[in-house]
Structure 1
Amino acid sequence: MRDIGGEQVEAAVAGAVARLRTATGQDWENTKAGRLECSCRFTATHIASVLLAYAGQLAGRAQHAYVPFGLALDDGTDDSGVLDVIETTGALLAAAIRTTPREVRAFHPYPFRSANREGFAAMGTAEVLLHTHDIAEGLGLAYEPAPELGEFVLTRIFPHVRPGADPWRTLLWATGRGELPGRAPVTEWRWHNNLVVPTERLTLQGVHPAAAADLVAGGDGGFAWIEGGPYEGTREAATFLRKAYEGGVHRPEFGVFTLVRREDGRAVGGMGFHGVPDEEGRTEIGYDLAEGARGQGYATEALRALCDWALARDDVRTVFATIDRGNLASQAVVTRVGFKKVSEDDEENEFAYELGR
């Protein structure tokens, strides 16, 4: 899976600017931007401001808050000039995305207080697409971006939204800007960057639906793997994630995580939940490692961290795992973390282990 993000931002900006330049003779200052309460002029300036802010977050490696700077237009800047600024700030964000290492994360508040370069690319693309729609609606312009741009946004930062036949219409619906047959109107929404759970030697990085699809197809999911990875269990888990996403029941915090070494950014394995907790607060977990990463304590370290994260939630009371009777190494991992064997299934030839609060 090739590194992507900058080209999507550039494509979104180019399409938006080309469409809006056809209406620079209209009154942007006194025309509301679609369903928004603000003007078309304010909304266009907002697009440029957000693109600049995202570029600053990545370039400055901000960790705890937004970098305290903003965009100020020169006095007398007309609406065509605002579009020039959108082109410029879009280019800055695309450049920041391309020059930021894959493992870098910078501050963004929703929902887990950080995003990587792909997350910022998806957020920037979303801002351009959605607010161009708002402005175009206010000015009476037809506007429809390329379907692949809507899909890029949905699969990166709307993993909880069931995909539809038309990605653009689905994105509009998911952000309260349109209707979809058979789906209730959306009145509140927020995008979701992937969750990352840190440990001493690893980061457990949540896998989004696009990465899962690439893993299912035999790709690397956008990760740099050690030799022998990803192992078959990770690809199988990605298959389940993809099916859950397509069915509209995927919840990213209870999805699949790739285990990435801090020292070199190499992925060594996968770990994740089989689904959301049931009514009793029970959720099942599974994991695997590439052969070259076994015997070094990675699975124990990652399992302990992910279980701690899950059991700190109000909706999780028990984490359980089923392990083949002959898999002594995996049994040793769960035992070291504190799981207790609670049952044996002779028919399936496996043991069940549980860890409670």
Structure 2
Amino acid sequence: MEEAVAGCVALLGTATDADWEKATAGRLEWSCRDTAEHIAGDLISYAGQLAGRARDAYVPFDITFDDGTDNSGALEVIRTTGVLLAAAIRTTPREVRAFHPFPFRSANREGFAAMGTAEVLLHTHDIAEGLGLNYQPGPELAEFVLTRIFPHVRPGASPWLTLLWATGRGELPGRPPVTAWRWHNNLVHDTDRLTLQGITPASATDLVGGGDGGFEWIEGGPYEGTREASTFLLKAYQSGVHRPEFGVFTLVRREDGRAVGGLGFHGAPDEEGRVEVGYDLAAGARGHGYATEALRALSAWALARDDVRTVFATIERDNLASQAVVTRAGFRKVSDEGAEGELAYELSR
């Protein structure tokens, strides 16, 4: 995000002699001046949300430029509010979530970093367009945004052009114009002892590459099932069919913030409202009921939706521990003739 702010200030600093009040910012209805103030307002707002640990609404404050502030002063405010948000992100623990309405009413520090970066990149583009400047941020910045808060958008050859298209600011060959859009922070489900934290494409990429996905794992984690599930998540993302609410979740203990396993769907519900789940735990977390607790919560969430009627799981015949998990979670065995002799279990409304 700091790189995005530095690029914004450097580029717009070459046009401080222009009339930002009269120039319209790209496709927006705002002037370039209003858009600059909007950037600063978003950055300080996000910093306030994180620093204040806001839970249910925006912290009720705003920022405006002082009367007489020139364009150079406006850029100084953007630079300063960017520093404040960066400081809030660095000092906020990974487990903290603060209020943001879209779409699941909260975001963690990485989500706020992505949202702040998006605001700077996109509105710098708008102002540059209004002032006749050429703006081309580094592709890694756009990819940072896309892989964290646009998991529903199929990636393209150019991350920057894809981000512009996804926000109604450009065109991509073979894709229809975007007239309405919204980013997606990751979904989190809470249980008594755990938080089920949605894995983003960025986290999945790291997990598939042998990393920790941005989580602090107990010894022995992440287990191979979580890495394999992340592979399927990435395939869906790259194909443009990933629905993040039906993705993969990391199970994180409330008591210490450490990840103990993974749980998730194999995809979105089919036409009959059936959706499949799978899960695993690091060896050191087994025997404590974590998988059962998480499976109950995720299944209850799914079955409360209009598009889900049945949650099912297939389990190897010799995996008695996993069979006990689904049974404790309320599933019933419906078949023992599954693929490769697996057992099938279901939980319905």
Range into which the TM-score falls when normalised by the shorter chain: over 0.9
Q: Say whether 1:319 aligns with 2:311.
A: yes
Partner of 1:229: 221
User: Displacement of 1:70 after TM fit?
Assistant: 1.0
1:167 maps to: 159
Question: Displacement, 1:345?
Answer: 1.9
Q: Is 1:204 matched up with 2:196? A: yes
Structure 2 counterpart of 1:144, one-letter code:
Q
Cα contact 2:338–2:344 (8 A) shared by 1: no
Q: How does the TM-score come out when normalised to structure 1?
A: 0.97
| Cα offset, 1:72, TM superposition | 2.5
Structure 2 residue aligned with 1:134, among 126, 145, 150?
Answer: 126
Shift >4 Å, 4+ stretches? none
Which amino acid letter does the alignment assign opposite residue 53 of structure 1?
Answer: S
Q: SS of the counterpart of 2:172?
A: coil
Q: Distance in 2 between matches of 1:17 and 1:311?
A: 49
The equivalent of 1:57 in structure 2 is: 49
**Structure 2 SS opposite 1:192:** coil
Task: Report whether the alignment pairs 1:268 with 2:268.
Answer: no
**How far 1:102 moved relative to its partner?**
0.3
Q: Does 1:155 align with 2:142?
A: no
Q: 1:223 to 1:347 in 2, by over 3 A?
A: closer
Task: Please give the per-residue CA displacement for 1:287-338, whole angstroms capped at 9, x wherever unaligned.
Answer: 0000000000000000000001111111111000000011111111111111
CA separation in 2, counterparts of 1:107 and 1:27? 36
Q: Is the 8 A contact 2:314 2:338 kept in 1?
A: no
1:51-88 Cα deviation digits (max 9, x unpaired):
00000000000001111111122211011100000000
Tell whether 2:216 aligns with 1:216: no
1:35 to 10, 18, 27: 27
Match of 2:298 among 292, 300, 306: 306
**2:326 match:** 334
Question: What CA distance in whole angstroms lies between the structure 1 residues aligned with 2:337 and 2:137?
Answer: 53
Segments of structure 2 that go 5 or more residues without pairing to the other structure are: none
Aligned counterparts of 1:246 and 1:323: Cα–Cα separation in 2 = 28
Residue 347 of structure 1: CA displacement? 5.6
Establish whether residue 14 from structure 1 lines up as the match of residue 6 from structure 2: yes
1:149 aligned counterpart, secondary structure? helix
Matched residue SS, 1:353? strand
1:286 and 2:278 equivalent? yes
Other structure's SS at 1:345 match: coil
Give aligned pairs, total. 349
Q: TM-score, normalised by structure 2?
A: 0.99
One-letter code of the match for 1:283? V
Q: Give the letter for the 2:55 counterpart.
A: Q
How far residue 346 of structure 1 moved from its aligned partner, in angstroms, is 6.3
SS of residue paired to 2:336: strand
Q: What secondary structure is seen at the aligned counterpart in 2 of 1:221?
A: coil
Q: Deviations over 1:157-190 (max 9, x none)?
A: 0000000110000000000000000111100100
Moved more, 336-345 or 176-185: 336-345
The correspondence for 2:68, drawn from 73, 76, 80, is: 76
Q: Secondary structure at the match of 1:341?
A: strand
SS at match of 1:348: helix
Q: Does 2:124 correspond to 1:124? A: no
In 2, Cα distance between equivalents of 1:185 and 1:204:
34
The one-letter code sitting in structure 1 at the alignment partner of 2:112 is F
Q: Does 1:351 align with 2:343?
A: yes
d(CA) in 1 for partners of 2:227, 2:347: 25
Q: CA deviation at 1:31?
A: 1.1
Q: Distance in 2 between matches of 1:338 and 1:226?
A: 28
**Aligned pair in 2 of structure 1 residues 28, 350: CA closer, same or farther (>3 Å)?**
same
Cα 1:347–1:55 shift into 2, 3 Å = closer
Structure 1 residues not aligned, in runs of 5+ = 1-8
